[in-house]
Amino acid sequence: MTKIVDLSVYETIKAVKENRFQGGRSVLFDLKSKGIDYVYDQNNKNLIHEHIHNQVEQIRAKIISGEIKVPYQ
């Protein structure tokens, strides 16, 4: 898993610049907002069977659509 920290920093700076920033509140950067992801590329592709990758992609789509709810805190 990777955290796309540059996205959260960019969105926070943009909110400050547009006078939308509200301190003290949490902002969720998730799969849907592309704030987290996983790496599947030429470096690890051979380590992960294609059917497993396809299953992960199906689960990912269900999380993004809201069909699967992931608890967070």
Provide block-wise average pLDDT over 10 residues at a time, the chain (73 residues): 91 95 89 91 93 96 95 78
Write down the pLDDT at residue 9.
93
Distance CA(73)–CA(71), nearest Å, equals 7
Q: What is the pTM of this model?
A: 0.74
Dihedral sign from CA coordinates of 44, 49, 53, 59: negative
Contact 67, 45 (CB under 8 A): no
